A and B are shown apart, each in its own frame.
Chain A
Amino acid sequence: MPKMTMIEALRSAMDEALAHDDKVVVFGEDVGFFGGVFRCTAGLQEKYGEARVFDTPINESAIVGLGVGMAAQGMRPCVEMQFADYVFPAYDQITQEAARLRHRSNQDFTCPMVIRMPTGGGIYGGQTHSQSPEALFTHVAGLKVVMPSNPRDAKGLLLASIEDPDPVIFLEPKRLYNGPFDGHHDRPVTPWKAHELGDVDEGYHTVPLGKASVFREGAAVTVLAYGTMVFVAEAAANETGIDAEIIDLRTLWPLDIDTIEASVKKTGRCVVIHEATQTSGFGAELSTLVQERCFYHLEAPIARVAGWDTPYPHAQEWTYFPGPARVGAALKSTMEA
């Protein structure tokens, strides 16, 4: 099984999709000739031609709006927002058009489209290249929201998203593009080739949407995480010695509530973590669902660790990032409660 970075895995997924289904088209800013600023589409235009993989003007609303029209007419657009921070001009097209087209037309028109976007911090991107806007999409009826944490899942989830009959927001944690990141920015970088989740199947295979994975089994406390924070949670568990069970949500919505419920009922404790700002974040939804379904099994209050409710700072990035120390402290206080 070949080793792939997350970038290579995503590229492999789009390569398979383009080969598998001639209705798939890939477009966005710089994605054509150059292959994307993160190189996710490198070589695809050369292989499939510019009618299948092409550059667009710098207008996110145009990218998604064109995608809505194409998808409604039978294509399978897989479009790229250069950064999740740039998605906002397209928010109208995503939330009011793509998300609602099936419902408002009583299934007369549908919108099978994937909107990929690099998300999260950890690359000194400052406030306009670091945000995690997942809650702005999980809040919208009609969207699915996916965030892989490793190359193997990234490929399978992206292919499943392209196959999906509904619009999918596909968030790519860019700090994980080249290797698992445990939150210790001052330590040597681990590449994916040194990690088993860098083993990615060649060929066409999917990871189903709506299914979480138990990333690390444990008995003491359940940690609900996704994207970059999965590895931060792992580091925190290892460093505190707490027998934490880490659930990698993979699909944020529709959520795999059964896996979460089973784990929390087993451990009796729950810590919810994400990199996005805390207030009205996706963690609030997770905490509520766990409380609704597992209240009589809980032995401690549900804890939340999230980004501060501030813009993502540049020089103070590691002050902002909810690293292993903060997650570890939450694990300890949850165990002591």
Chain B
Amino acid sequence: MSSAKLTFPQPPARPGESPDFSLLDIPAAGLLEVPPLDVTSDDCADYARGLIRVLDDDGQAVGPWADYAKTLGDDIWMTGLRDMAMMRAIDARLLNAQRQGKTSFYLQCTGEEAIGGGFQRQLAKTDMNFPTYRQQSLLVAADYPLEALMGQLYSNSFDPLEGRQLPIMHSARDYGFFSISGNLGTQFVQAVGWAMANALTGNDQIAAGWIGDGATASNDFNAALLSASTYQPPVVLNIVNNQWAISTYTGVASGKAKTYAQRARGYGIPALRVDGNDYLAVAAVSHWAVARARAGHGPVVIEWFTYRAAGHSTSDDPSGYRPKDEAAAWPLGDPFTRLKDYVIARGLWSEERHTQMKAEVLDHVTTVQKAVEAGGTMTSPKPMSRTAVFEGVYAEMPWHLRQQRQDAGF
């Protein structure tokens, strides 16, 4: 009899069972120093294995990264709080719109708002993100007009893409947001190419790649890390580890490896692992990573450790594969609540003002939503330009597309 046996990784709990995160190794907050910007991959081993946390279990900002975060000023916490409130309101309103049949598809980023929001606020306007489909918080924190954001979701007259793309697949060059493909992983190596062009032209801009834990399995994850290591362009490569790839437990993508950040070690790229539900940690590490890339010290990998609190999309029902109350049991809490508690404890904010701010934001989002819905929804459609189908396939329309358009009668 052979002693070889296969393993088939399983999450700690399935539907009907109690959530169980007891096997997660979560170090105390405040343990890690702020490394020099030119830190090497070898010297970064503790950061790739550990977890940068600023807010401790009592909501106190502690340790060297807390001191670093303080240098960013207090305004960014209020900005971050408002970005997350806006993100929550948008997700709530658009999920509702999808449930009402006004759009075909939606996808929330609940629980991950701090990551995109906190990172984007540390970028310059001319830097470029190469996002996945769950990074709408980048757009919100880039002050992308809500009309365009929602218009894309309704594929109506407000849609900058004129109906070409599945809802959530935004493209906003002027807001540092590369066109989302929908095929996983491809954008990660494109971010490296963009950053190489930045270095070749000396424009002082950086790029940021984004990928989920599931898509780290893709060929282009390897292609990106290797290319980034080989050519050393100014790029931040972000891995959002939210524990779930649709229904597939993160252990299927990680295998026996304990962290995704440690993968960078084999490529010789420094990597840090960060509590993605801690806005202070996100802002501080983002600031550090952006500064490193811009200073010409080459690529850096960040694993944002978080939890996908909502379903994968409106086409997904997570109660079929994980405990219903798993999100509430996530040991690193909710990023919006944690930042709110922090600013209240600091005396910068109050529960009353928070409630009022949430109401104002929701009111604003709802008002814009109504105006955008007047441009057409799936339940009250307004015809979109049919010629858009044929336009932009090439810079100039070739004869065969002209003919096909004419054959179609427009």
Contacts and interface: CB of A to CB of B under 8 A. Distances in A.
B190 A57 contact: no
Contact of A104 (B165, B190, B200, B220): B165
Interface string B175-210: 000110101001001111111111011000001000
Interface stretch (B60-68, B254-262, B298-306, B393-401): B393-401
B395 A102 contact: yes
B190 A72 contact: yes
A276 interface: no
B164 interface: yes
Contacts of A51: 200
A74 B222 CA distance: 25
Contacts of A310: none
A109 B173 contact: yes
Contact of B226 (A25, A59, A69, A210): A59
Interface in B154-185: 160-162, 164-165, 169, 171-173, 178-179, 181, 183
Interface range on chain B: under 10, 10 to 19, 20 to 34, or 35 or more? 35 or more
Contacts of A254: 394, 398-400
B127 to A, nearest CB: 11
A75 B162 contact: no
Contacts of A102: 392-395
A165 interface: yes
Interface in A160-213: 165-166, 210
A103 B164 contact: yes
Contacts of B172: 108
B131 to A, nearest CB: 13
Interface string A65-94: 111111111110000000000000100110
B223 interface: yes
Contact of A62 (B173, B227, B392): B227
Given A70-B193, A72-B178, A106 B220 contact: no
B393 A69 contact: no
Contacts of B197: 69-70, 73-75
B69 interface: no
A168 B107 CA distance: 35
A96 interface: yes
Interface string A247-278: 00000001101000000000000000000000
B282 interface: no
Interface range on chain A: under 10, 10 to 19, 20 to 34, or 35 or more? 35 or more
A110 B169 CA distance: 16
B173 A108 contact: yes
A106 B181 contact: no
A96 B173 contact: no
B10 interface: no
B128 interface: yes
Contacts of B224: 62, 65
B161 A104 contact: yes
B200 A75 contact: yes
Contacts of B388: 106
B219 interface: yes
Interface string B259-279: 000000000000000000000
A316 interface: no
Contact of B178 (A100, A103, A109, A166): A109
B49 to A, nearest CB: 26
Interface in A41-64: 51, 56-57, 59, 61-62
B230 interface: yes
B219 A61 contact: yes
A61 B201 CA distance: 23
Contacts of B171: 104-106, 108-109
A331 to B, nearest CB: 28
Contacts of B191: 69
Interface string B125-158: 0001010000000000000000000000000000
Given A106-B171, A108-B173, A73 B179 contact: no
A51 to B, nearest CB: 6
A68 B183 CA distance: 14
B193 to A, nearest CB: 3
Contacts of A284: none
Contacts of A74: 197, 201
Contacts of B398: 210, 254
Given A70-B197, A210-B398, A65 B223 contact: yes
A22 to B, nearest CB: 9
A106 B148 CA distance: 13
B394 A104 contact: no
A25 B233 CA distance: 15
A100 B166 CA distance: 14
B173 A61 contact: no
Given A61-B219, A66-B193, A106 B169 contact: no
Contacts of B192: 65-66, 69
Contacts of A71: 193
B226 A106 contact: no
Interface string A138-169: 00011010000000000000000000011000
A69 B189 contact: yes
B382 to A, nearest CB: 18
A223 interface: no
Contacts of B160: 106, 108
A104 B164 CA distance: 6
A65 B186 contact: yes
Contact of B189 (A65, A109, A144, A257): A65
B190 A68 contact: yes
A105 B175 CA distance: 13
Nearest to B230: A57
A240 to B, nearest CB: 33
A243 interface: no
A4 interface: no
Contact of B183 (A67, A69, A97, A107): A97
13 contacts: A62-B224, A67-B193, A68-B186, A70-B193, A75-B200, A75-B201, A92-B183, A104-B164, A106-B161, A108-B171, A108-B172, A142-B394, A165-B395
3 cross-chain pairs, A with B, having the tightest CB-CB distances, nearest first: A69-B193, A65-B189, A66-B193
Given A62-B226, A102-B393, A166-B394, 9 more contacts: A59-B219, A59-B222, A61-B189, A62-B224, A71-B193, A92-B220, A104-B169, A105-B179, A254-B399
